[in-house]
Amino acid sequence: MSEHVDIDKQVRIYFLVFGALMVGTAATVGAYYLDVSVPVALTIGLFIASVKASLVACFFMHLIDEKKIIYWTLALTVAFFIALMALPILTSVTDQVGDFAEVEAHEPH
Amino acid sequence: MEIPYTVEAHPETGLNNGKIGIWLFLTSEVMLFGALFATFIMLRLGSDGNWAAMQAEAELNIPLATLNTAVLIASSLTMVMAWASLMRGQLGRFKLFGWLTVGCGGIFLVIKYFEYTAKFEHHHYPESSTFLAIYFAMTGLHALHVIGGMAWNAYFTGPGSKVFHTNRQWLTDRVEHSGLFWHFVDLVWIFLFPVFYLL
Amino acid sequence: MMDAMFPAAASEHAGRIDNMIDAVHYLMLALFIVWGVFFVYVLMRFRASRNPKADYVGVKSKMSTYGEVAVAIAEGILLLGFSIPMWAERVDEVPPESDATVIRVVAQQFAWNVWYPGADGEFGAQDLSLIDEATNPIGLDRDSEAGADDIWTVNQLHLPVDKPAIIHLSSKDVIHSFNLPNMRIKQDTIPGISIPVWFVPTKTTAQIREETGNPDYVYEIACAQLCGNSHYSMRGFLTVHTEEEFQAWLDEEASYLTGSDDDFFDF
Amino acid sequence: MAEPVHASPAHDEHHHEQSFWRKYIFSTDHKVIGVQYSVTGLAFLFFGFVLMMVMRWNLAYPGEPIPFIGSLLGDNRAPGGIMLPDFYNELGAMHGTIMVFLGVVPLAVGGFGNFVMPLQLGAPDMAFPRINMISYWCLFMGGVTMFASFFLPNGAAGNGWTSYSPLADIALNGQTAWLIGMIFLITSSLLGAINFITTAIQLRAPGMTWMRLPFFCWAQIVTAFLLLLAFPPLEAAGVLQLMDRVANTSFFIPEGLVVGGEVLERSGGGSPLLWQHLFWFLAHPEVYVLILPAMGIVAEVIANNSRKPLWGYRSMVYSLIFLGFMSFIVWAHHMFITGMGSVMSTFFQTTTMIISIPSVIILSALFISLWGGSIRYNTPMLFALGFLPMFGIGGLTGLPLGLSAADIPLHDTYYVIGHFHYVVAPGTLFALFAGVYYWFPKVTGRKMNEFLGKLHFWPSLVFMNGVFFPMMIQGLNGVSRRLADGGITYDFAGEVAGLNRMMSVSAWCLAVAQIPFIINFFMSIRNGEKAGRNPWNSTTVEWLAPSPAPHGNFDQPIEVVRGPYEYSVPGSDKDYVPQAEPAST
């Protein structure tokens, strides 16, 4: 970061972000005890986690005010990350594969 | 011989070498944990609905993990405050926040240790189920990162901080870079916590 | 062009796959010849002793761009015209099981267990705890509903000619690959899942022996995926019969069931 | 020499004396590290080659005792000198692993990348010299682990370099050591990649804009990105497989496996295909990690020895970047016959056909660059020229394998082996030899012997083809790969089994053909013809440094003023204009 940044203002932001992260954590745990259905819980949980992660990345890691070359590198990583995330889908969704349900696995004893 | 741009920023990119290096390292970390998350999703999708049962059987301790999340978030705050103190030129406060960060990492690991031993006491091992396998793989790798980050921070807070008097900018930059790593480790935990304990 | 190199083709789709491989090789050859001729000419024409002063600009024509576009078009044709439809036929257009010979093959280190449903056309249940390498390698439960008349063999696959064969492939231990070179069929067997392959054999073993002039010619089953130390010898046999011969073979196999359970040494 | 040899640079004397250890063993100088990488890479290439020669004995003469060394191998490998199939599998797996991860990558990326790239950029060193040193020592540790695994009680890993689970999960051989070795090698590559990219971004000399970058540097940058982003998934997969082996987890093991008649006591729930996806997510880009630096070397040597600019430099650079990008989304074309549906296979064969276009563009541009040149046939040029048709064959034979329908009979046959060996052996290796001959004067200050170089090239060219071309024929006949007896168990393979002897003899002759190189290499270090700064009259920046270059590289400030390949510029008095020399008006 360059020298002219008003560090006192930054510190105030850090404490605000810290508060928001704590609230987010509480909210995630709270939502868990609400006992909602799995898809809703997944959506809420991952949404809050993404918001928290963005807060960390943007403010603690200064991504909100970063140089172009780092944005480019991260954009590239995101592209390949998406390809990587396609992987579990490819592993589990193979339309040719039949089910093997008839084969029961009976463990001995 | 001097390597250019170790401290001062490159006029074109506006960054020094270390900053680019640490971000490149973090991109590879993104792909590393990404592959593990992909594995997690695959195992969960392929579990034929047994996932919730495996998770319940593993008896993860949610209050402890919540506490651990709070500890890591607090350590992120102290980390960034350590850097801010250096920016302000306050060596004493930097050391205070630096050791607080390392200490938070230590608390996190101690809690993690209690969590792990509780699992082992109940004979929940990585081999017991795919849930426990990926749980131990990911949280274990994360814990290794915490240890690495602690060592890094401890060096700059302790012996490394002598440079403050000769090359303050260098120290500030290094602390910023180790902070980036530390925040990334925190960021990974922010996903690990709900994914394993709550969802 | 290259048919002489391929193993004798004996399934309905084999010819089309061979033609496609031929076509790709024509494209490759054309490209290689164009590059080769250009290359040899350039090496002679522009050697330093003959051309002491190099030309700063070099080639000005757009020929290479046209060439690259042509390659792209040729690849597009191979892709859209041949490969994609042929693959879809392999994996999507599996004929109904009622019109086909349905068989299971359970691969293991280092043999192919072939499992026929028997007279009732239904497979019996499989129970891993019943597995005995000598007497029951597939873990067939003879007491299950459809299991009494099931037939299994080791390394001996028998099929009737001109009728689609659907083979459900699975594996007991590691990944193997079910390779029928004459049928242009190859499919990995992945433990934990069952994958169907299908093809229509068009030549009986007797016919292929006559065609090749080799009285000992056999259709072989090879393993194409490294599966352990005896991978190299994981050899099975496919015999293609006429419909009547196939029935006769099935009846004969079934007759062993009434006598003894042990049909391990009957091949 | 067209250019006068500069007097020995004065500032050498200002350097304080370093101890032998700091100077040559734990050096942070990118040139020393580059040489360390190169020597390690060459040594492992030789070792991997020896493994292959032993394998080829069993392929040519299955079941016969191995001459000379057979009795030395021990009863658990070759009782009575006759190779056991398990030992064959070990040799096969370790040949692949060593050639790829310990031979070509250390030489092409670690060696040439480290030595040449900073010089070409006009940089004093790498951005992180100490990380550079750690990266080499990680590689070294990985190499030691791999090498030592041969002496484990159950031998080295023998599950193919692909290490497919569940076989690799349950195998009793040295797979665990393989995984630990791989984790070292991956760490080394990651650290190296970070260093390369940072150096290229930050340490280019003034005036060295992106479009003035030599093609070799571009190739190294794209390669570094591939390593950086593709290797971590394999590292993750390696950790998971390690857990499968030592902690009895089931990441890659489904429920209900029966091994040797016994039900495997595992929780199950994993997927063998997951390993393949994670593995090929790296291993396809890895192919480009092998080939891109080779293309970079060939581009440098061809521009220099045809005395004219590269044709279509810009489109080559864009093709290169596109190639690197696309290489991340083609991986599953290695997995067509794992039970892939038509949607997935359509996607992956389409991307595979798309990725072939930039390769064709780069190769065509290299061919066309020769047109109008004034071609000098020295040893580096011969190897670079040899690369072009050999890589052409390797690339073209990829086409039928990339089309899923044509892949059915060809998959996992010797056609595949022939294909990728054409890419890597007469392709990449020829380019690497070109690089060794080309940059040898920069490393040692002396040129290698031309006669021995040619004696190295021509037999190598002949025997390389003698080894690999018959593989195509065997592959079309359907002979599977990784068969310990070369396929004689099978009737259909028997027809072409005789080719095995020809290939094996070619392989052993190929070994003999390397003798001139080895002699030349060691002889020229001391006795070679002295080379000045710029023995090849080259334009790029590395030739402005003294040969050998001192710590810190340059004895004059470097300011780049023009593109990298300004050869035979009209109106110039000599046929090359260095990149970093003020324009003569």
Residues 6+ apart with CB under 8 A from D77: D83, D84, D86, D87, D90, D155
Task: Give the burial string for D58-96 (b: 16+ CB within 10 Å, else e).
Answer: bbbbbeeebeeebeebeeebbeebbbbbbbbbbbbbbbb
With 0-12 / 13-18 / 19 or more C-beta atoms within 10 angstroms meaning exposed / middle / buried, residue C54 is buried
- What is the 8-class DSSP label of residue D329? G
Cβ atoms within 10 Å, residue D314: 10
| D514/chain A closest Cα distance in angstroms | 41
Domain ranges of chain D: 23-252+270-544
pLDDT of residue C24: 94
Contact D229 A91 (CB under 8 A): no
> From the candidates A90, A91, A99, A102, which should be mutated to test the interface with C, based on the most C CB atoms within 10 A?
A102
**Contact list, A97 vs chain D (CB under 8 Å):** 339, 341
Beta-bridged to residue C112, according to DSSP, are C107
A neighbours by CB contacts (3+ pairs under 8 Å): B, C, D
Report DSSP letters for D169-182, one per residue: HH--SBHHHHHHHH
Mutate to test the interface with A, among D194, D229, D258 (most CBs of A within 10 A): D229
**Running along chain C, 267 residues long, what does each successive block of 10 average in pLDDT?**
84 95 94 95 95 92 90 95 93 91 95 93 91 91 90 95 96 95 95 93 96 94 94 95 95 80 49
Neighbouring chains of B at 3+ CB pairs within 8 Å? A, D
Query: Parallel, antiparallel, or unpaired: how do β-strands C126-127 and A103-104 relate?
Result: parallel
Residues of D in contact with A84 (CB under 8 A): 233, 281
Q: How far is D258 from chain C (nearest CA, A)?
A: 5
Contact A14 B80 (CB under 8 A): yes
Domains located in chain C, CATH noted: 14-92 (no CATH), 97-259 (2.60.40.420)
Return the closest-CA partner of residue D177 out of D90, D264, D259, D105.
D90
Cβ contact D341–A80 (<8 Å)? no
> Residue C7 phi/psi, 5° resolution?
-60, 150
Answer yes or no: is B7 within a domain: no
Listed by number, the residues of chain B in 28-87 with a beta carbon closer than 8 Å to a beta carbon of chain D are 28-29, 31-36, 38-39, 42-43, 46-47, 50
CB D335 within 8 A of CB D273: yes
Contacts of D319 in chain C (CB under 8 A): none
What residues 5-44 of chain A have any CB closer than 8 A to a CB of chain B? 5, 7, 10-11, 14-15, 17-18, 21-22, 25, 28-29, 31-32, 38, 41-42
- Going by their DSSP bridges, the two strands C236-241 and D258-259 should be labelled as unpaired
Give CA D166 to chain center in angstroms. Answer: 28
Q: What is the pLDDT of residue D409?
A: 95
What is the number of helices (H) and of strands (E) in chain D? 21, 2
Distance in angstroms (rounded) separating the CA atoms of residues B35 and A85: 8
* pLDDT tens by residue, chain D, 585 residues: 333 434 334 344 445 567 888 888 899 999 999 999 999 999 999 999 999 999 999 999 999 999 989 889 989 899 999 999 999 999 999 999 999 999 999 999 999 999 999 999 999 999 999 999 999 999 999 999 999 999 999 999 999 999 999 999 999 989 999 999 999 999 999 999 999 999 999 999 999 999 999 999 999 999 999 999 999 999 999 999 999 999 999 999 998 899 988 899 898 889 999 999 999 999 999 999 999 999 999 999 999 999 999 999 999 999 999 999 999 999 999 999 998 888 889 999 999 999 999 999 999 999 999 999 999 999 999 999 999 999 999 999 999 999 999 999 999 999 999 999 999 999 999 999 999 999 999 999 999 999 999 999 999 999 999 999 999 999 999 999 999 999 999 998 888 989 999 999 999 999 999 999 999 999 999 999 999 999 999 999 999 999 999 998 998 889 999 999 999 999 988 999 999 976 544
Q: Is residue B2 part of a domain?
A: no
D-contacting residues of C 224-263, CB under 8 Å? 224-233, 235
Residue D368 Cα, gap to closest chain C Cα (Å) = 7
Residues C99 and C117: their CA atoms lie apart, in Å, by 15
Give residues 281 to 340 of D whose Cβ lies within 8 Å of A: 281, 325, 328-329, 332, 339-340
- DSSP-assigned beta bridge partners for residue D259: D262
The H or E element that residue B34 is part of is: helix B17-45
| Residue A101 falls inside a structural domain | no
Contact C125 A102 (CB under 8 A): yes
Of C181, C190, C218, the CB nearest to D272: C190
Closest approach of D144 to chain A, Cα-based (Å)? 31
Q: Quick check: helix, strand or coil at residue B92?
A: helix
Banded model confidence at residue A107, pLDDT cuts 50, 70, 90? very low
DSSP C119: T
pLDDT number for residue A37: 84
Instruction: Name the A residues in 11-50 with CB < 8 Å from any D CB.
Output: none
- Do D410 and D400 touch, CB atoms closer than 8 A? yes
Q: How far is A89 from chain C (nearest CA, A)?
A: 16
pLDDT of residue C260: 52
How high is the pLDDT of residue A20? 96
A-to-D residue pairs, Cβ atoms closer than 8 angstroms: 48
Identify whether the C-beta of residue D484 lies closer than 8 Å to the C-beta of residue C230: no
pLDDT at position D17 is 67
- What is the chain A residue with the closest CA to D230? A80
Instruction: Please name the amino acid found at residue B13.
Output: T
Pairing of strands C165-171, C101-108: parallel
D51 vs D156: CA distance, rounded Å: 12
With an 8 Å Cβ cutoff, are A97 and D268 in contact? no
- The distance between the two most distant Cα atoms of chain D, rounded to a whole number of Å, is 84
The position carrying tokens 């259909």 is D492
Burial of D19 (0-12, 13-18, 19+ CB in 10 A): exposed
Q: Which of B2, B3, B141 to mutate to test the interface with D (most CBs of D within 10 A)?
A: B3
Task: Tell whether A106 is covered by a domain.
Answer: no
CATH code at D23-252+270-544: 1.20.210.10
Q: Is B140 on the interface with D (CB under 8 A)?
A: no
B51 three-state secondary structure: helix
- Chains C, D: CB contacts within 8 A come to 296
Q: Tell me the chain D residues in contact with residue B33 when contact means C-beta distances shorter than 8 Å.
A: 236
Report CB contact under 8 Å: D341, A94. yes
Q: In whole angstroms, what is the distance from residue D472 CA to residue D394 CA?
A: 11
Comparing CB atoms, the residue among B46, B183, B191 nearest residue A60 is B183
CB contact under 8 A, D373 and C58: yes
Interval B102-108 mean pLDDT: 97
Of D225, D278, D329, the CB nearest to A83: D329
How many whole angstroms separate alpha carbon B179 and alpha carbon B76? 8
Asked whether the beta carbons of D560 and D207 are under 8 A apart, the reply is yes
Q: Is the pLDDT of residue A106 over 60?
A: no
Residues of chain B with pLDDT > 70, as a percent, come to 99
- Look up the domain containing A71 and give its range: 67-94
Q: Which residue has the tokens 């078009």?
A: C73
Closest Cα in chain B, distance from residue A14 (Å):
7
**Does the distance separating the beta carbons of A22 and B81 come in below 8 Å?**
no
Provide the CB-side half-sphere exposure for D452 (13 A, CA): 18
d(CA D63, CA D82): 6
Task: Give tens-digit pLDDT for D172-194.
Answer: 989 999 999 999 999 999 999 99
Widest CA span in chain A? 72
Contacts of D246 (CB under 8 A, 6+ apart): D176
Alpha carbons within 13 A on the beta-carbon side of D55 = 25
Between the alpha carbon of residue D197 and those of residues C23, D126, D192, D206, D218, the distances in Å are 42, 10, 9, 17, 10
Residues A49 and A9 in one domain: yes
> Which residues in chain A are contacts of B52 at CB distance < 8 A?
38
Q: Which residues of A touch D268 (CB under 8 A)?
A: 105
Collect all residues of chain A within an 8 Å Cβ-Cβ radius of residue C129: 106-108
Q: Measure Cα distances from B78 to B72, B106, B143 in Å.
A: 10, 14, 19
Shortest Cα distance from D280 to chain C (angstroms)?
16
* DSSP-assigned beta bridge partners for residue C167: C103, C197
D79 prior amide bond cis, ω within 30: no
Tell whether A6 and A57 lie within a shared domain: yes
DSSP class of D205:
P
pLDDT score, position D45:
97
Q: Is the CB of D263 inside 8 Å of chain A's CB atoms?
A: yes
Residue B127: pLDDT over 60: yes
Q: Do A87 and D268 touch (CB under 8 A)?
A: no
SS3 C221: strand
Instruction: Find where tokens 């910023």 sit.
Output: B176
Q: How far apart are CA D550 and CA A28, in angstroms?
A: 59
> What does the alpha-carbon distance between residue C220 and residue C156 come to, in Å, rounded to a whole number?
10
Question: Which residues of chain A lie closer than 8 angstroms to C195, CB-CB?
Answer: 96-98
C123, C42, C109: which is closest to D302 by C-alpha? C42
Give me the CATH number covering residue B178. 1.20.120.80
Contacts of A70 (CB under 8 A, 6+ apart): A63, B15, B19, B20, B23
> Which of A42, A80, A81 shows the shortest C-beta gap to B199?
A42
> Given an 8 Å threshold on Cβ–Cβ distance, is A29 in contact with B198?
yes
Under 8 Å between Cβ of D85 and C229? yes
Model confidence at A4: pLDDT above 60: no
Q: For the segment C188-203, what is each residue's pLDDT rounded down to a tens digit?
A: 999 988 999 999 999 9
Q: Which residue of D has its CA nearest to B19?
A: D198
List C-alpha distances in Å: C230 to C176, D142, D152, D485.
12, 29, 21, 10
Q: Do D339 and C87 touch (CB under 8 A)?
A: no
Burial of D140 (0-12, 13-18, 19+ CB in 10 A): middle
Query: Does the beta-carbon distance from D274 to A84 stay under 8 Å?
Result: no
Q: Is A57 found in the same domain as A36?
A: yes
- Give domain status of residue B63, yes or no: yes
Range of the domain at B153: 17-198
Residues A50 and A84 in one domain: no
For B146, D247, D271, D421, the CA distances from D239, given in Å and listed in that order, are 18, 11, 15, 29
Q: Using DSSP, state whether A104 is helix, strand or coil.
A: strand
* DSSP secondary structure letters along D38-95: HHHHHHHHHHHHHHHHHHHHHHHSTTSPPTTTGGGS-TTT-GGGPPPHHHHHHHHHHH
CB contact (8 A) between residue D251 and residue B39: yes
φ/ψ of D121, rounded to 5, equals -80, -15
Reported ipTM: the value is 0.93
Asked if A37 and A85 sit in the same domain, the reply is: no
Residue A88 reports pLDDT greater than 80: no
The verdict on D236 touching B (C-beta cutoff 8 Å) is yes
Q: How many domains does chain B have?
A: 1
User: Amino acid identity of C4?
Assistant: A
Q: State residue D176's pLDDT score.
A: 96
For residue B193, give both structure tokens. Answer: 């916590």
